[in-house]
A = this chain, B = another copy of it.
Amino acid sequence: MTQRQIEKLTQKIIEMGPAKAHKIFKKASVYPECPIDYSLLATWYTPGIAEPCRMIMKDYNQLYRLTSKGNRLAIVSDGTRPLGLRSEGVWGPHASMPIMEGKAFLFRALGAVEGVPLMLGHCKKDGKIVVPTVEEFTNIVKFTQENYGGINLEDIETIDDKCHKILHQLREDVDVKIPVWHDDQQGTATIVIAGLINALKIAGKKKENIKIACVGSGAVMVATIKLMKAWGILPSQIRLADEKGTVDSSRDDIDDNTETGKLKNEVEQMNVIGSKKSKEAIIKGSDVLIAASVSIKGGLINPKLIKLMNKKSIVFAMANPYPEIDPEHAKKEGAFIAATGRSDFPNQVNNACAFPGIFRGVFDVRAETISDKMTLSASEAIAKRAQKINEFGENFILPHMDDITMAVDVAANVSMQAMKENLAGKPIRDEEDYKKDVRKRIEKVRKVSEILVNLLEIK
């Protein structure tokens, strides 16, 4: 499309509002990429089709060669925590469908991965929403796994550790053979680390010497802290607080057996009760503030607290649509780098930089799981890509999501790391050839979409 077409379209989309815009934008159709020639039916369908079936029966690997399984990703959710909007409760699997269709779109457009929504649960005729228990959830995934090359979990609640239990069971259950990923947790952690690598570089700080204040104790923070530890941050460098106070051994209200509970004795012991004071305590003398808590108009954290941080302070405030600290206020109070989850401010911390390239790489080497080292190799690739862009600096720490080179680099790093760890079922021979091939595939999706838009005269 020409620039003028895009401008006209943009105007139109904004006028029609999000509901209609989504209806247009989620539009995706499956098209046969083959001649529709029924005279060949006896060869490629019955009775000929029995042959590929028998080949798969004899050798399971043929399933990846002869069907689309290997590039098909289930985007699985029960709609219990849509868009992380805790305050709005359970929307249910039906009402959360637009989110998963949007996510599927991003997987296709950014990584040439065929995302397929798989909502679990249902809305009964009387309007009552039924969502699966942890056991029902994992059981359905087990019974449907042959359709997919991987599982991307999405928007599952943290209550009773549901999202943690599901991820854990699916990864540990020997009967699920495909890689499982919870994007709200791991995808966010990946891009936070990528942002941190560059923020520390620009600020001239060393990761060994920093103190990190974390606000929020939900699934995102649990995963981020886990990945920071795998990256080399010591638990003693981390300070944690949520709405009820600092999270440490003094907190009797958090069950020791939950994922958050396990962190209680690990992180720095602050022992400050009361939410206002506790935030002050963990922020004071910190180099980095990471907030992943709740979206409140005006922001959860008083920007004045930034003044208590060390020099060249780094702030990631990721609540949407209202960041915990407005980035402009943070800067005004002395923050050196401010990042948010929003696309309309500089430094968007956006997991769409990570997940398309990660699954591209995972699928291409048929990795059996996604290890922390693979995840960190994605963070590395994203960080390095930003460094090569002219704008790189305190207002540009991360690339844009639609940077094809970034997706290619992420896929290459992830697949190479899988090979190093002996997790690759189908190794890649030449990294450079592979990168060319990935670029070609992603560009193909964009080219075809453009042709379809023109052909179908989508307005």
Contacts and interface: CB of A to CB of B under 8 A. Distances in A.
Nearest to A120: B143
Interface stretch (A45-53, A193-201, A216-224, A431-439): A45-53
Contact of A174 (B119, B125, B146): B125
A390 interface: no
Interface string A29-52: 111111111111111111111111
A31 B119 contact: no
B146 A119 contact: yes
Interface residues of A, number: 119
Which 5 interchain pairs have the tightest Cβ spacing? A18-B48, A25-B44, A18-B51, A57-B95, A56-B95
A142 interface: yes
Counting chain B CB atoms within 10 Å of each CB, the highest count among A27, A35, A92 belongs to A35
A276 B48 CA distance: 32
Contact of A147 (B18, B23, B108, B117): B117
Contacts of A177: 122, 125
Contact of A51 (B19, B97, B143, B451): B19
Number of copies: 2
A402 interface: yes
Given A45-B106, A46-B83, A122 B146 contact: yes
A17 B47 CA distance: 12
A285 interface: no
Interface stretch (A63-71, A240-248, A267-275): A63-71
A356 interface: no
Interface in A69-121: 69, 82-83, 85, 91-99, 101-102, 104-106, 108-109, 114, 116-121
A15 to B, nearest CB: 10
Interface stretch (A298-306, A378-386, A440-448): A440-448
A13 interface: yes
A21 B43 contact: yes
Given A108-B31, A108-B32, A453-B34, A54 B95 contact: yes
A384 B446 CA distance: 44
Given A22-B45, A28-B32, 13 more contacts: A29-B114, A31-B31, A32-B108, A34-B458, A47-B83, A49-B102, A53-B97, A56-B98, A119-B147, A122-B175, A122-B177, A130-B175, A447-B455
Contact of A18 (B19, B49, B67, B452): B49
Contacts of A46: 83, 102, 320
B26 A29 contact: no
Contact of A36 (B57, B109, B142, B175): B109
A209 interface: no
A132 B140 CA distance: 10
Given A44-B26, A56-B98, A92-B57, A449 B109 contact: no
A137 to B, nearest CB: 9
B35 A9 contact: yes
